[in-house]
Chain A
Amino acid sequence: MIWLAWRQMRTQVLVVFGVLVALGIALALTGPHLVHEFDTIIKPCEAKPNCGGVANFSNSDRFLQSVSLLLLIAPALAGMFWGAPLVAREYENGTYRLVWTQSSSRARWLAAKLGMGALVSMVAVGLLSLMTTWWFSPIDAFSNNSLTPSTFDRRDLVPIAYALFAFAFGATAGLILRRTLPAMAVTLFGFIGLRYVVEDDLRPHFMTPLKLTSGFDPLEPGLTVGGGGLKSSDQVVSQETVSGTGHVLSANGNVGPTSGEVNVSSNGTVTLRGIGKCAGKATNAPAPSGSVSQSFGGPGAQVHVGNAKAGVPSMENLNKIVVPCARHYHLHQISYYQPLNRYWPFQFIESGIFIAAALVLAGLSLWLLRRRTA
Chain B
Amino acid sequence: MSAVIEAQGLGKRYGRKWALSECSVSIPAGHVVGLVGPNGAGKSTLLNLAIGLLQPTAGGLEVLGGRPTDAAAHLGRVGFVAQDTPTYQSLSVADHLKMGALTNPTWDQHVAEGRIAQLGLDPKQKAGNLSGGQRAQLALTMAVAKRPELLLLDEPVASLDPLARREFLQVLMETVAEDEVSVVLSSHLMADLERVCDYLVVLVSSRVQLAGPVDDLLASHRRLIGPRRDPATMPGNQVVIESSHTERQSTFMVHTDDPILDPSWTVEEVGLEDLVLAYMGQAAEKARQTRPMIGLVK
Residues of A within 8 A of B (CB): 1, 3-4, 7-8, 11, 93-106, 372-374
Q: Which residue of A lies closest to B92 (CB)?
A: A7
Contacts of A373 in B (CB 8 A): 52-53, 55, 70
Task: Give the distance in Å from the alpha carbon of A101 to the alpha carbon of B50 in the complex.
Answer: 11
A284 to chain B, nearest CB (A): 76
A132 CA to B180 CA, complexed, in Å: 63
Q: Does B51 contact A (CB under 8 A)?
A: yes
Across the interface, which residues of A come within 8 angstroms of B78, CB to CB? 101
- The segment from B9-17, B100-108, B243-251 that touches chain A is B100-108
Question: Which one of B81-89, B169-177, B253-261 contacts A?
Answer: B81-89
Knowing A97-B53, A373-B52, A373-B53 touch, does A102 contact B86 (C-beta < 8 A)?
no
CA distance A1 to B103 in the complex (A): 7
Q: Pull 20 A–B residue pairs with CB atoms less than 8 Å apart, ordered by A.
A: A1-B103, A3-B102, A4-B103, A8-B90, A8-B91, A97-B53, A97-B82, A98-B88, A98-B139, A101-B53, A101-B78, A101-B79, A101-B80, A102-B99, A102-B103, A102-B142, A103-B75, A104-B70, A104-B103, A372-B55
Q: How far is the CA of A94 from the CA of B88 in the complex (A)?
A: 9
Which has the most chain B C-beta neighbours within 10 Å: A96, A103, A106, A373? A103
Q: How long is the Cα–Cα vector from A305 to B80 in the complex, in angstroms? A: 80
A7 vs B98: C-alpha distance when bound (angstroms): 11
Tell whether, in the assembled complex, residue B86 and residue A98 are in contact, meaning their CB atoms are under 8 Å apart. Answer: yes
**Is the Cβ of B103 less than 8 Å from the Cβ of A95?**
no
B76 contacts which chain A residues (CB < 8 A)?
A: 103
Inter-chain contact A93/B53, CB cutoff 8 Å: no
Main SS at interface, chain A: helix
* Contact across chains for B98 and A103 when beta carbons are under 8 A apart: no
In addition to A8-B90, A103-B75, 10 A-B residue pairs with Cβ atoms within 8 Å of each other are A3-B102, A4-B103, A11-B90, A94-B84, A95-B87, A101-B82, A103-B106, A104-B72, A105-B70, A374-B55
Q: Which size bracket describes the interface of B in this complex?
A: 35 or more
- Which of A95, A99, A102, A105 has the most CB atoms of chain B within a 10 A radius of its CB? A102
Determine the distance from Cα of A102 to Cα of B91 in the docked complex, in whole angstroms: 16
Q: A3-B102, A94-B82, A106-B70 are in contact. Are A101 and B89 (CB under 8 A)?
A: no
Nearest B residue to A101 via CB reads B80
Restricting to B103-122, which residues have a CB under 8 Å from any CB of A?
103-106
Q: Nearest chain B CB to A171's CB is how many angstroms away?
A: 18
Interface centre among B55, B99, B102, B104 (most CB of A within 10 A): B99
Is residue B207 within 8 Å, beta carbon to beta carbon, of the partner chain? no
Contact with A along B239-275 (1 / 0, CB 8 A): 0000000000000000000000000000000000000
Tell me the bound Cα distance from A97 to B143 in angstroms: 12
Contacts of B53 in A (CB 8 A): 96-97, 100-101, 373
Q: How far is the CB of A91 from chain B (nearest CB, A)?
A: 11
Task: Identify the closest chain B residue to A98 (Cβ).
Answer: B86
Counting from the closest, the 8 A-B pairs by CB-CB distance are A97-B82, A94-B86, A102-B103, A103-B75, A101-B80, A104-B103, A103-B72, A103-B76
A39 to chain B: closest CB distance in Å?
A: 50
Q: A98-B86, A101-B51, A103-B105 are in contact. Are A7 and B70 (CB under 8 A)?
A: no
A102 in contact with B104 (CB, 8 Å): yes
CA distance A101 to B139 in the complex (A): 11
Chain A residue contacts of B102, Cβ below 8 A: 1, 3-4
A3 to B91, CA, bound (A): 12
Q: Are A95 and B88 closer than 8 Å at their CB atoms? A: yes
B75: which of A1, A94, A96, A102 is its contact (CB, 8 Å)? A102
Name the distance in Å between A358's Cβ and chain B's nearest Cβ.
Answer: 25
Max chain A CB contacts within 10 Å: which of B51, B70, B99, B142?
Answer: B70
Bound together, the chains give a CA A20 to CA B14 distance in angstroms of 47
B95 contacts partner chain A, Cβ-Cβ < 8 Å: yes
| Cα–Cα distance between A97 and B100 once the two chains are bound (Å) | 14
Interface residues in B54-80 by Cβ distance below 8 A to A read 55, 69-73, 75-76, 78-80
CA distance A101 to B143 in the complex (A): 9
B223 CB within 8 Å of chain A: no
Task: Give the CA-CA distance A333 to B280 in the complex, in Å.
Answer: 88
Contact of A105 with B72 at beta-carbon distance under 8 Å, contacts A4-B102, A94-B84 already known:
yes
Question: What are the residues of chain B within 8 A of A101 when measuring CB–CB?
Answer: 51, 53, 75, 78-80, 82, 143
A110 to chain B, nearest CB (A): 11
Is B146 on the interface with A (CB-CB < 8 A)? yes
Set of chain B residues within 8 Å of A3, measured between Cβ atoms? 98-99, 102
A7–B102 CA distance with the chains assembled, in angstroms: 13
**Chain A residue contacts of B146, Cβ below 8 A:** 102-103
Q: Which residue of A lies closest to B100 (CB)?
A: A102
